[in-house]
Chain A
Amino acid sequence: KQEVTQIPAALSVPEGENLVLNCSFTDSAIYNLQWFRQDPGKGLTSLLLIQSSQREQTSGRLNASLDKSSGRSTLYIAASQPGDSATYLCAVLSNFGNEKLTFGTGTRLTIIP
């Protein structure tokens, strides 16, 4: 059974700093990994999708990496801004053909102005 862990559960950093969010998963047989952001009381917004054959994806100030062999992914946020404050979730799609997405519990990020 796939398990996804995100540590820490909460993180506060001053505005302008670069930061890294971590995601680990137990079963390396994945189809893809997706990072989402969720604002309070809202739905999830897809940030980046990394297919299992890829090592990283970039979108603006965001860069996500994937290391399947070690069961880890990181989300790097450059030059953080107060608007980046949100909960960030990673999700792993396992068992291609019987697709099942497993979510972590998220990291609540606060950017201090």
Chain B
Amino acid sequence: EPEVTQTPSHQVTQMGQEVILRCVPISNHLYFYWYRQILGQKVEFLVSFYNNEISEKSEIFDDQFSVERPDGSNFTLKIRSTKLEDSAMYFCASRNRRGRNQETQYFGPGTRLLVL
């Protein structure tokens, strides 16, 4: 069964460094998402991406964050200058197409990011 994959599974970085989190969505999916969960808190939405552009972003997704789909298969989240409060589990998700019958967002296993 097709699945969303994410790499790396864990990343440790120093404050101020750039990180790139990578995701390979399910191959025929059209909508892509990043969410994150800070330890002890709810899973929260960061950004959605469709047709090679951001379709929606949350107030968390400031200028330090960017997303890209560089080659038609990977979907990346870049944090330009990491802060301590960026430490979280980052989830990628993808969805097939618009419509209530195609609502399901399929999640990857996450990347655990620790900023020191």
Do A and B make up one complex?
A: no
